[in-house]
Amino acid sequence: MPSEFALIRNYLTGLGASRDDVLVDSGDDCALVQVPAGASLALTMDTLVAGVHFFADVDPYTLGHKALAVNLSDLAAMGAEPAWVTLALTLPNDDQSWLAAFAAGFANLANAHGVRLIGGDTTQGPLSITIQAHGLIPADQHPLCRHGAQPGDLIVVSGTLGDAALALRQLLAQQIPDPWLRQRLEQPTPRIALGQALRPLASAAIDLSDGLVSDLGHLLTASGCGAEINLARLPLSAAVAAEISTSNDWQLPLAGGDDYELCFTVPPEHAGRLESLAAQLGCQLTVIGTVDESKTLRGRDLDGELITLPGGYEHFVASGSQPGARCSTTTLV
Ligand code: ADP
Ligand code: MG
């Protein structure tokens, strides 16, 4: 049986891109990195717990990807360039094939974004993964914050909404999701390039982890504004559109979690740049509504009628024992 140190050395050391700004890599008491003069360091941390955030028997390769992706998504939402990550891993046993696959999924995404794993902690216990991601915002650039939206700004989302929630719904019903849909749940794409491109354009931004209504609500609260969104404009994949056309249930795109798309606000004078940005990044960008002076978030259905918007995912509220337990709170702001 390998020791903790052998597991770290064999599977977790040297993961990701090599970077000149790593002065002391994983293996010492601390890692040392060089932050460029004047740059801001963006720090974020997310934990994924077996049975809460993922099925304990999920493919470890996709889990390695997702654990990193959810953290990179927070850096994207801030407009930061990903640089270094640390990883606290709690493992129930020393299953080396599991760890090798987890490390491979992690490393693949880390390499794609020039990220280096520079240290962490490894313990035994119920399966749980905590990652702290470190990103850089250059000295002459503005971060994207949740505050800053102004009445009249357009509300934009990237990609499509509700795919991950539909895949989860199918898995909970013992159905096998289509591979594309399953990938939206298990291997989300952090919108890193979009986040950086939005620094000079967006007035506020957030990434969608808990559902559109909940996360847009946080942005609006931080900005001291309200908004109206239009269901007819929500960007839906064919799979989610088909589900809604039979059920007329809009929970998936409005309250489904795990989208990891960006939701941001753009002053009207910059709206003309969205189309070319979408083409340049190969990423769908859709205007779904407008910020206003009210303190509420309202939705209009396909007939233009005002509707009550569902809440998103919250821990500690109506908590369930399975991944994806959802609460049914309604309003916000
Ligand atoms: P210490 O006892 O000084 O805290 P550890 O024994 O916990 O050090 O870790 C030894 C080295 O291995 C450290 O450099 C640490 O950053 C690294 N390390 C431990 N766990 C991980 C991990 N899950 N991923 C990456 N590096 C790790
Ligand atoms: Mg030490």
Go through the domains of the chain in sequence order and give each one's CATH number. Answer: 4-138 (3.30.1330.10), 154-307 (3.90.650.10)
Q: Which of 63-77, 98-112, 256-270, 313-327 has the lowest mean pLDDT?
A: 313-327
Q: Is the pLDDT of residue 22 over 80?
A: yes
> 86 CA to middle of ligand 2, Å?
15
Q: Which of 23-27, 165-169, 308-312 has the lowest mean pLDDT?
A: 308-312
Q: What's the confidence (pLDDT) of residue 308?
A: 83
Please report which ligand is nearest the Cα atom of 121.
1
Give yes or no for residue 129 CB within 6 A of ligand 1. no
Q: Rounded to an integer, what distance in angstroms lies between the CA atom of residue 173 and that of residue 180?
A: 18
Q: Rounded to an integer, what distance in angstroms lies between the CA atom of residue 182 and that of residue 167?
A: 6
Q: What's the confidence (pLDDT) of residue 332?
A: 40
> 91 CA to middle of ligand 1, Å?
14
The stretch 321-327 carries a mean pLDDT of 39
> Which of the four pLDDT bands, split at 50, 70 and 90, describes residue 315?
low
Residue 295: other Cβ atoms inside 10 A: 12
Q: Is the pLDDT of residue 286 over 90?
A: yes
> Which of the four pLDDT bands, split at 50, 70 and 90, describes residue 198?
very high
Query: What's the predicted TM-score (pTM) here?
Result: 0.93
Ligand 1, atom 5: nearest CA belongs to which residue? 121
Ligand 1, atom 10: nearest CA belongs to which residue? 27
Q: What's the confidence (pLDDT) of residue 156?
A: 98
> 93 CA to middle of ligand 2, Å?
23
DSSP single-letter state for residue 38: T
Radius of gyration of the chain (CA): 20
Across the chain, what does the average pLDDT equal? 93
Percentage of the chain surpassing pLDDT 90? 90
> Which of the four pLDDT bands, split at 50, 70 and 90, describes residue 299?
very high
Give yes or no for residue 119 CB within 6 A of ligand 1. yes
Residues in the 5 Å CB sphere of ion ligand 2: 29
Ligand 1: which atom is nearest the Cα of residue 28? 14
Q: What's the confidence (pLDDT) of residue 1?
A: 60
Q: Is the pLDDT of residue 326 over 60?
A: no
> Which of the four pLDDT bands, split at 50, 70 and 90, describes residue 236?
very high
Ligand 1, atom 17: nearest CA belongs to which residue? 119
> Which of the four pLDDT bands, split at 50, 70 and 90, describes residue 310?
confident
Residue 197's φ and ψ, nearest 5 degrees, are: -70, -25
The stretch 264-287 carries a mean pLDDT of 98
The stretch 162-182 carries a mean pLDDT of 97
Give yes or no for residue 90 CB within 6 A of ligand 1. no
Please report which ligand is nearest the Cα atom of 9.
1
CA-to-CA dists, residue 223 to 52, 84, 151, 240, 262, angstroms:
31, 30, 10, 30, 17
The stretch 257-280 carries a mean pLDDT of 97
Q: What's the confidence (pLDDT) of residue 333?
A: 36
Please report which ligand is nearest the Cα atom of 30.
1
> 122 CA to middle of ligand 1, Å?
7
The stretch 34-51 carries a mean pLDDT of 97
DSSP single-letter state for residue 254: H
- From 26, 89, 106, give the residue whose CB has the most ligand 1 atoms within 8 Å, as the site to mutate: 26
Residue 27: other Cβ atoms inside 10 A: 13
